[in-house]
Amino acid sequence: MISVSSGRLAPYREAAGRGVLLLPRCVDCGTWQWPPRAACRHCGGAPDWREASGGGRLSTWSVVTRAPRPECQADVPYVVAFVELDEGVRLFTRIVGTGAGALRTGLRVRCRFAPSPEPAVSIPVFVVAEG
């Protein structure tokens, strides 16, 4: 078991580097948590890190046309979004492979992993899972 409280996002980032979407889940009641916290948001129990399904639905999105940092300049325009995971938590992420014009609320999406602007780091992104 990896303690959620030691280095809040370290297990998430380490797993993403291996192509695994790891999220905190309460060992007592099974509720998934995001963002990571020391105690379960439902029952106050202890969260542990578990592999999530990687499936979800598009909730809201926006197109970024001005790079927030110089290292993002080559990426613009790109789509940022909130994805409602099948586990019941919302993740702020990017949608890749589909332009904003083809997106709609509730669209099925699946997790993939893409290189981050930080060297040797990979981050979860989402692709549209239906035509």
Binding residues (CB under 5 A) for Zn ion: these are 26, 28-29, 31, 40, 42-43, 45
β-pairing, 47-51 vs 90-95, is: unpaired
Residue 39: phi and psi, rounded to 5, are -130, 150
CB of 48 to Zn ion, least distance (A): 11
Half-sphere CA count of 80, side-chain side, radius 13 A:
10
Select 28 or 71, whichever has its Cβ closest to Zn ion.
28
Decide whether 45 or 55 has the Cβ nearer to Zn ion: 45
Tell me how far, at minimum, the Cβ of 24 lies from Zn ion, in Å.
Answer: 10
Residue where the block lists tokens 């790891």: 22
When the beta carbons of 37 and 108 are compared against Zn ion, the nearer one is 37
